[in-house]
Structure 1
Amino acid sequence: MKSAVETLNPTRVRLTVEVPFEELKDSLDAAYKKINQQVTVKGFRKGKIPARVIDQRFGRGAVLEEAVNDALPKFYTEAVNEAELNVLGQPEVDITELKDGETLNFTAEVDIRPEIEIPDYSGIEVEVDAVEVTDEDLEKSVEQLRERFASTSPVERAAADGDVVTIDLEAKVDGETLEDGVASGVSYTIGSGELLEGIDEAVTGLEADGEATFTSQLKGGSAEGKDAEVTVKVTQVAARELPELDDEFAQLASEFDTLDELKADSRKRLENMKQYDQATQAQERVLEKLLELVEVPVPEKLLEDEVQTRKHNLVNHQLGQMGLDLAKYLEIQGKSEEDFESETREQAVKGIKTQFVLDALVNKEKLNVSQEELTEHLMRRAQSSGMSPDQFAQAVVEGGQVPMLVGEVARGKALAVVVEAATVKDTTGEVVDLSDEDETESATDVVEAAEGTEGAEAKTEA
């Protein structure tokens, strides 16, 4: 076999392959054997029909077609390996010449990973938000904890903002009560915004057994999006009572004996959260700077496939779980289809560039992924998917996605290397030390977000 490579552009090549006919012998034998099992000829046992009889009865052309279809993948792979190409996707194959007993010639056009030169990245500088926990932050955190331990007690008065009311609902469209528009004993906190628009105004001021009617656009169900006349009846009004902020509350809500200890721990937790957010912000901005330094051509076919994959995952997984379609989602987001197409394409380009650049960096820095790192990453992905580690691992293996997970961790390590070499300062001008952060794992999260691969479980199901 002879092969030659013609570069069509930085991301696409054409392979020209010439195969001597004798190298088709194994595929021809396999073709005769396959046809033998599929046909019957009077006077011959099944599977024992001579090749000349098959040629006479069914045509030599049918045998050649079967043999070529069997042989092409093997010769294409040999040509790719011989040229040391890093191919992407499936090739477009064209048989240019097939002479029985003489030769098989074909061409294969295929996208390839572009050659990427990683420049000196040690000069990258980024600015991030300073870590500061204000008294207001601390007060909000403690108040949220206090809300979790609130109690309710029935009261004999009109309902007010913050009260918990028990209500019965009935929705009508065009005067007809909806089958799925009736509910009883619903608990609702006034002001939470968790039910229908207009319900807060309707129930505020009502006592037990009070009733009101209002118009609201339905958010779901059989008449989603339609205006409905909703009748709401209050069956109970209950006041929410917050516990006093004292040492007794600290003992109730935490492992601490005093309120001061609880507040000190809350402040430390907030600092840790802000430090993690700061590290993530640094990694995101370093990645953006790195991508600006590198010229990355993007294969058009790969880009189109990535755009379609992102649309599919959004519509069939994320929106499907929320009971939304694309049109409703765009309406909620206030975006046109053109805006959505443009943003999706832009995100896909960034995802592809991120993968190409960080993969090149993995090779340059000779980064490897240990079994321990892979297992830890798998555990985290399983947790975010809602599956057990064993279930997730099985889905990954069966879906052939182990190399994908290895690549994610490797690219996370590559980004961590660049972040370590970069200069990161906060808004006060102080140099930020990220050495205490788990850079590889947080960097892997940043890479997944840039590539659009956070939902590996969605891809496993797709």
Structure 2
Amino acid sequence: MKSAVETLNPTRVRLTVEVPFEELKDSLDAAYKKINQQVTVKGFRKGKIPARVIDQRFGRGAVLEEAVNDALPKFYTEAVNEAEVNPLGQPEVDITELKDGEVLAFTAEVDVRPAIEIPDYSGIEVEVDAVEVTDEDVEKSVEQLRERFASTNPVERAAAEGDVVTVDLTAKVDGEVLPDGVADGVSYTIGSGELLDGIDAAVTGLEAGGEATFASELKGGSAAGKEAEVTVKVTTVAARELPELDDEFAQMASEFDTLDELKADSRKRLENMKQFDQATQAQERVLEKFLELAEIPVPEKLLEEEVNTRKHNLEHHQLGQMGLSLEKYLELQGKTVEEFEAETKEQAVKGIKTQFLLDELVSQEKLNVEQEELTEHLFRRAASSGMSPDQFAQAVVQGGQVPMLVGEVARGKALAVVVEAAKVVDTNGEVVDLSDEDEDQAAETVEAVTGEAEVSEEK
């Protein structure tokens, strides 16, 4: 076999391959055998039809077509390995010559990973928010904990903001009660905004047994997005009572004996959360600077596929679970279709460039992923997906996604290398030391940029 490679642009090549006909022998034998099992010829047992009879009855062309289809992947792979290119996705193959008994020639155009030169990232400087926890932050945290331990007691008065009411709801569209438009015994805290628009005003001032009607746009169900006439009947009104903020509350709501200890723990947790957010912010901003320093061409077909994948995941998974259409989502976001398309393309470009650049750094720095690191990453991904580690691991293995997880961890390690070399200061002018930050957190930052789709390499 002879092959040659021609660079069409920085992200696409054309392979020209010429194969002597004798190298098709195994595929021709396989083609005759396959056709033998599929056809019946009078006078011959199934599977025992001579090749010359198959040629006469079904045409030599059918056999050649079957043989070429069988052989092409093998010859393409050999040509790819010989040319030492890294193809992305499936090639566009064109058979340029097929002479029976003489030669098979074809071309294969395919997108490839571009050659990337890692820029000097030692001079990157970024500014991040300072880690500051105020007394107000601590009080707010403790107050939220206090809300969780609130009790409710029925009252015989009109409902007011903050009260918990039990209501029966009936929704009509065009005068007809919806099949899924009736709900009884729904508990709702007035002012929480967790139910329907307009319900707060409707139930405020009603006593048990009171009823009101209001208009509201339905957020989910069979008539999501439509204007409905909703009738609400209050069956009970209960006042929320918050526990006193004292040592007794601290003992009830936590493992601490005093309120001061509880507040000190809340301050520490808030500091840890803000340090995590600060590290994520640093990683994001360092990555932005790193990308700006590099020249990274993006294959057009790969970009098109990535944009389509992102749109599909948003429309059919994320929005589908919320009962929203893409049109309704854009309306809520205040975006036009054109703005959405441009934003999605920009995100896809950034995601692809991030993968290319960090993968190249992984290769250059010879960064390896240890089993312990992969396991830790798997546990985190399982937790974020709502699956047990065993379930997630099984799904990953069955879906052939182990290389994807390895890639995520490796890119996280690569980003951590760049962040450690960068100068990071907070808004107070203090230098932030991120040398001990978790590499798995960096992997999470990279995932947020690259999205769910993975740049696949198929040979």
C-alpha separation in 1, matches of 2:218 and 2:64? 63
1:371-386 matches, within 5 Å, as 371-386=371-386
**Aligned position for 1:297:** 297
1:20-99 matches, within 5 Å, as 20-99=20-99
1:326-383 deviations in whole A, cap 9, x for unaligned? 1111111111111111111110000000000000000110100011111111111111
**Aligned position for 2:419:** 419
C-alpha separation in 2, matches of 1:98 and 1:110? 21
C-alpha separation in 2, matches of 1:237 and 1:428? 50
- The 1:202/1:93 distance shift into structure 2, 3 A limit, reads same
Deviation at 1:39, TM superposition (A): 1.2
**Aligned position for 1:279:** 279
Moved more, 209-218 or 248-257: 209-218
C-alpha separation in 2, matches of 1:340 and 1:170? 36
C-alpha separation in 1, matches of 2:425 and 2:316? 41
**Aligned position for 1:330:** 330
**Aligned position for 2:451:** 452
C-alpha separation in 1, matches of 2:149 and 2:319? 33
State the SS of the aligned residue for 1:284.
helix
State the SS of the aligned residue for 1:117.
coil
Moved more, 37-46 or 243-252: 37-46
Deviation at 1:259, TM superposition (A): 0.3
Partner AA of 1:333 in structure 2: Q
**Aligned position for 1:127:** 127
C-alpha separation in 2, matches of 1:171 and 1:324? 18
Total equivalences in the alignment:
455
State the SS of the aligned residue for 1:13.
strand
* C-alpha contact (below 8 Å) 2:221/2:323 kept by paired residues: no
Deviation at 1:179, TM superposition (A): 3.2
1:27-86 deviations in whole A, cap 9, x for unaligned? 111111111111122222111111111111111111111111111110000000001110
Q: Does 1:223 align with 2:238?
A: no
* C-alpha contact (below 8 Å) 2:224/2:324 kept by paired residues: no
C-alpha separation in 2, matches of 1:429 and 1:397? 47
C-alpha separation in 2, matches of 1:57 and 1:418? 67
* C-alpha contact (below 8 Å) 2:97/2:105 kept by paired residues: yes
State the SS of the aligned residue for 2:177.
strand
Deviation at 1:224, TM superposition (A): 2.6
Larger relative contact order, structure 1 or 2 (CA cutoff 8 Å, min sep 6): 2
**Aligned position for 1:407:** 407
C-alpha separation in 2, matches of 1:35 and 1:19? 23
**Aligned position for 1:19:** 19
C-alpha separation in 1, matches of 2:228 and 2:325? 21
Partner AA of 1:340 in structure 2: F
State the SS of the aligned residue for 1:256.
coil
State the SS of the aligned residue for 1:104.
strand
**Aligned position for 1:174:** 174
C-alpha separation in 2, matches of 1:359 and 1:16? 28
1:268-305 deviations in whole A, cap 9, x for unaligned? 00000000000000000000000000010000000000
**Aligned position for 2:247:** 247
Q: RMSD across aligned C-alpha pairs, in angstroms?
A: 1.4
C-alpha separation in 2, matches of 1:290 and 1:77? 34
C-alpha separation in 1, matches of 2:106 and 2:178? 64
Q: TM-score, normalised by structure 1?
A: 0.96
State the SS of the aligned residue for 2:298.
coil
Deviation at 1:166, TM superposition (A): 1.3
* C-alpha contact (below 8 Å) 2:114/2:297 kept by paired residues: yes
Partner AA of 2:448 in structure 1: A
**Aligned position for 1:139:** 139
**Aligned position for 2:442:** 443
C-alpha separation in 2, matches of 1:406 and 1:223? 43
The unaligned stretches of length 5 or more in structure 1 are none
**Aligned position for 1:388:** 388
- The 1:174/1:23 distance shift into structure 2, 3 A limit, reads closer
Deviation at 1:385, TM superposition (A): 1.1
* C-alpha contact (below 8 Å) 2:96/2:105 kept by paired residues: yes
Deviation at 1:185, TM superposition (A): 1.6
C-alpha separation in 1, matches of 2:322 and 2:174? 27
1:203-222 matches, within 5 Å, as 203-222=203-222
Deviation at 1:316, TM superposition (A): 1.5
State the SS of the aligned residue for 1:16.
strand
C-alpha separation in 2, matches of 1:177 and 1:49? 69
C-alpha separation in 2, matches of 1:71 and 1:125? 53
C-alpha separation in 2, matches of 1:170 and 1:119? 63
Q: TM-score, normalised by structure 2?
A: 0.97
- The 1:143/1:72 distance shift into structure 2, 3 A limit, reads same
Moved more, 176-185 or 441-450: 176-185
Q: Structure 1 residue runs of 4+, over 6 Å off?
A: none
Partner AA of 1:444 in structure 2: A
Deviation at 1:173, TM superposition (A): 2.8
Partner AA of 1:260 in structure 2: D
1:210-264 deviations in whole A, cap 9, x for unaligned? 2222222222233333322222222211110000000000000000000000000
The unaligned stretches of length 5 or more in structure 2 are none
State the SS of the aligned residue for 2:319.
helix
Partner AA of 1:449 in structure 2: A
- The 1:44/1:219 distance shift into structure 2, 3 A limit, reads same
Partner AA of 2:38 in structure 1: Q
1:314-353 matches, within 5 Å, as 314-353=314-353
Partner AA of 1:133 in structure 2: V
**Aligned position for 1:357:** 357
C-alpha separation in 1, matches of 2:87 and 2:226? 51
C-alpha separation in 1, matches of 2:255 and 2:229? 49
* C-alpha contact (below 8 Å) 2:283/2:442 kept by paired residues: yes
State the SS of the aligned residue for 1:442.
helix
Partner AA of 1:411 in structure 2: R
State the SS of the aligned residue for 2:345.
helix
Partner AA of 1:227 in structure 2: E
C-alpha separation in 1, matches of 2:373 and 2:224? 46
Deviation at 1:25, TM superposition (A): 0.8
* C-alpha contact (below 8 Å) 2:219/2:323 kept by paired residues: no
State the SS of the aligned residue for 1:6.
strand
C-alpha separation in 1, matches of 2:79 and 2:129? 52
C-alpha separation in 1, matches of 2:253 and 2:367? 45
